[in-house]
Amino acid sequence: MGSGRNAAYWLSAPALAVYALFLVVPIASIALLSFQNFEFYGGIQPGITLKNYREVLTDGYYWEVFGRTFFIAVVVTVLCATLGTFEAIVLHRMANPWKSVFLLVVLGPLLISVVVRTLGWALLFGSTGLVNKALLALRLVTEPIAFMYSVTGVVIALTHVLVPFVVISVWASLQRIDPAVERAAVSLGAGQPTVFRRVIVPLAMPGILSGSVIVFALAASAFATPAIIGGRRLKVIATAAYDEFLNTLNWPLGASLAVLLLLANVVVLYASNRLIERRYRAVFRESVA
Amino acid sequence: MSFLVLEGLTKRYGDHAAVDDIALSVKKGEFVSLLGPSGCGKTTTLQMIAGFVEPTAGSVTLEARNLLAVPAAKRGLGIVFQNYALFPHMTVAENVAFGLEMRSVGKAERQQRVVETLALVGLAGFAERYPAQLSGGQQQRVALARALVIRPGLLLLDEPLSNLDAKLREEMQVELRRIQRTVGITTLMVTHDQAEALALSDRVVLMQAGRIEQEDSPLQAYEHPRTGFVCDFLGKANLFTVDRVDANGLTVGVLALPLPVGASADVRAGDRILVRPEKISFGTPGPGALAARVANRVFQGNHWLYQLQTPLGDALVIRQNDGGACPAEGDHVHLVWRADAMRAVPADARAAPAAVPPSLEGELEVRLMVDLPREDP
């Protein structure tokens, strides 16, 4: 079987080459860049140093930025998971033609540039924006809420932008559930809420978790939305790295921020994948029959 | 005493009646099968009893309680679905215990009943496995255990054995009957497999196009079919149209046959005579012997299935594989049968033309006939 295995490598060589060129090489260059020395007067100096990592990990400013980024990512993930699951379940139970219409409505945001979507939110937010006007008119608040340039605003806009990912993932999971299983639960005496809690959600859980992982990774590395809604003051890792690259021109420092974000995401992704697989291995193993 | 009563039960989809005004009484402890081809309405009937489909008209009464007034979740029926519908994310024990949990049965009692029921279906020791780790037969037993553990008044089976291979199906038929008799539960089974229905039921209800054609014990339904559909569907049939009847006998084409016996003696010209293939043998020429030529013979293990061409149309004969000489293809033979092997079947509105070709019902048999090469064994 020797030649068989070699043939496999040769055949996958083109794909591997693309992968290497467009993914591995850029990431490797960034990683290398993060080890380089940058002087304010003089630019990038030759030599390897850990100075950038030391700076990031000892400066309270950067800890705040990391903290804010992951706080936003976690809150957005939880909100997206909850909302997205409900949306997917409602969609799943809809009859055509409404189903197709609402599927488009839910997935529509993905068709529009994230910048345009976020600018839309910028219009709605703001002390004289539509959201505040509505809240004031309904007398739910006595003065406008500051959504713009706040973490709340970033969370809301990011949730709107990322919910479709959870919907798609959960939707796929729901399609795989045998409808007879629901009927079996009903025949055994389960009311609708119990069917939902004991049968549907557990069976859709792999979809919910996968969707959440995607949302977390995207929320942690989000750039446009925190930049527009958060403004210059509220930095997340992506915007902080942007600052270093374009303002301070300290590329190595920006690179180190990027690498740390990448590492954090990889750890979260790996850990959650292991968790999902271990918990659901028995359930989704190939049937023996 | 009637335990389950269906009266005037109807389900219409637009103009089409999937179930058309059916009436049925099931006694306590009885095993009744709804048997018929696809689209005859048997599954729809079951789903109406279970509560998943709303009837257009009619009533379903269980122990004098109007079942239709109760939502599906509260009917307390045990249902085994066609694909078992086990909860994939729960272990076997959790699957079986689900119904008890819904009834707020205490943990200790739940555990004990689950263990008992798993032992009853022959799955002791499988409690901690997941459905994906079980074979088809084992999954079926879990589905059965899950339905039985709640001690329902009525057990509904939706084509329970259709997903199993032939050998396993036979074993499970025996098992199913044993379990049903042990527990003594009233059972209603839906199937398109006549062998299964005949083997398991106390009574068989044959359905076609939403109506009940005949309800009888398996032996009675097989030996005394009342319509052309039942002849065709249960077993194989040779149907010959009667030309003339007089005091001495029947004239069927060139054949002079004696009068049939029993209820069938009341036969009239234009009716049909049913002779089952296993009741025909190869005999000597005579006025009552049907001359025939062997067109094809198929070996099926314990018997040969002969297809013959006769002046009255095609005929089927089943010849036991008893080691004796069997006619080969192309041979000319004479078919004889006893007077009491004949049954009168009225010509019905849907009667086929005079020489009715005997049908080859039973998908398994048809497949065998198509797949086997036409060569001498």
In sequence order, the β-bridge partners of residue B294 are B308
SS3 content of chain A, % helix, strand, coil (to 5): 80, 5, 20
Structure confidence by residue, pLDDT tens digits, B183-224: 999 999 999 988 899 999 999 999 999 999 999 999 999 988
B37 DSSP assignment: S
Which pLDDT belongs to residue A148? Answer: 84
SS3 content of chain B, % helix, strand, coil (to 5): 30, 30, 40
Query: Does pLDDT of B154 surpass 90?
Result: yes
Structure confidence by residue, pLDDT tens digits, A101-135: 888 888 888 888 888 988 888 888 877 788 888 88
Query: Does pLDDT of A1 surpass 70?
Result: no
Q: Distance between CA A224 and CA B365 in Å, rounded?
A: 68
Structure confidence by residue, pLDDT tens digits, B20-61: 999 999 999 999 999 999 888 999 999 999 999 999 999 999
Q: Which residue in the set A181, A190, A285 is minimally distant from B73, CB to CB? A: A190
Find where tokens 């949306």 sit: A87
In this prediction, residue B19 has a pLDDT band, given cuts at 50, 70 and 90, of: very high
Q: Which residue in the set A178, A285, A286 is minimally distant from B83, CB to CB? A: A178
Query: Does pLDDT of B366 surpass 60?
Result: no
In this prediction, residue B5 has a pLDDT band, given cuts at 50, 70 and 90, of: very high
Q: Which residue in the set B77, B85, B102 is minimally distant from A178, CB to CB? A: B85
Measured between beta carbons, the chain A residues lying within 8 angstroms of B139 are: 289
Contact B79 A187 (CB under 8 A): yes
Structural element, H or E, at residue A182 = helix A179-187
Q: How many CB atoms within 10 Å of residue A102?
A: 14
Contact A282 B133 (CB under 8 A): yes
Q: Distance between CA A232 and CA B289 in Å, rounded?
A: 105
Is A106 an interface residue toward B (CB < 8 Å)?
A: no
Contact B103 A189 (CB under 8 A): yes
Structure confidence by residue, pLDDT tens digits, A133-176: 888 888 887 777 788 888 989 999 999 989 999 999 999 999 88
Q: Distance between CA B320 and CA B301 in Å, rounded?
A: 9
**B87-126: burial string, b at 16+ Cβ within 10 Å, e else:** bbbbbbbbbbbbbbbbeebeeeebeebbeebbebbebeeb
Is A193 an interface residue toward B (CB < 8 Å)?
A: no
Closest alpha carbon to B82 in B42, B109, B54: B42
Which pLDDT belongs to residue B207? Answer: 93
Measured between beta carbons, the chain A residues lying within 8 angstroms of B89 are: 202-203, 205, 280, 283
Q: What does pLDDT average to over chain B?
A: 86
Strands B272-275 and B238-241 turn out to be antiparallel
Which pLDDT belongs to residue A285? Answer: 54
Average pLDDT over residues A26-47: 82
For residue A40, give the amino acid letter: F
Length of chain B: 377
Q: Distance between CA A138 and CA A204 in Å, rounded?
A: 37
User: Which of A173, A187, A194 is the mutation pick for testing B, counting most B CBs within 10 A?
Assistant: A187
Contact A189 B74 (CB under 8 A): yes
Which pLDDT belongs to residue A269? Answer: 83
Strands B31-35 and A43-48 turn out to be unpaired
Please give the share of chain B, as a percent, with pLDDT higher than 90.
Answer: 53
Distances (CA, A) of A182 to A166, A251, A282: 22, 56, 20
Measured between beta carbons, the chain B residues lying within 8 angstroms of A205 are: 89
Q: Distance between CA A170 and CA A161 in Å, rounded?
A: 16
Which pLDDT belongs to residue A247? Answer: 86
Residue-by-residue DSSP string for B93-121? HHHHHHHHHHTT--HHHHHHHHHHHHHHT
Measured between beta carbons, the chain A residues lying within 8 angstroms of B52 are: 183, 186
Q: Which residue in the set A184, A205, A288 is minimally distant from B79, CB to CB? A: A184
Please name the residues between 116 and 175 in chain B that touch chain A, using a CB distance below 8 Å. 130-136, 139, 146, 150
User: Which of B75, B83, B84, B98 is the mutation pick for testing A, counting most A CBs within 10 A?
Assistant: B98
Contact A186 B136 (CB under 8 A): no
Query: Does pLDDT of B144 surpass 90?
Result: yes
Per the model's pLDDT, the better-predicted residue between A97 and A85 turns out to be A85
What are the residues whose beta carbons fall under 8 Å from the beta carbon of A194, sequence distance 6 or more? A185, B102
Distance from CA of B148 to the nearest CA of A (A): 10
In this prediction, residue B372 has a pLDDT band, given cuts at 50, 70 and 90, of: very low
Q: Are B302 and B308 in contact (CB under 8 A)?
A: no
Contact A189 B73 (CB under 8 A): yes
B76 DSSP assignment: -
Q: Distance between CA A56 and CA B242 in Å, rounded?
A: 102
Structural element, H or E, at residue A42 = none
Contact A288 B102 (CB under 8 A): no
Distances (CA, A) of A237 to A69, A187, A227: 6, 52, 11
Structure confidence by residue, pLDDT tens digits, B303-325: 999 999 998 889 999 999 888 88
Which pLDDT belongs to residue B247? Answer: 79
Q: Which residue in the set B72, B103, B130 is minimally distant from A187, CB to CB? A: B72
Distance from CA of B129 to the nearest CA of A (A): 9
Is B103 an interface residue toward A (CB < 8 Å)?
A: yes
Which pLDDT belongs to residue A127? Answer: 76
Find where tokens 């609402």 sit: A102
Query: Does pLDDT of B354 surpass 50?
Result: no
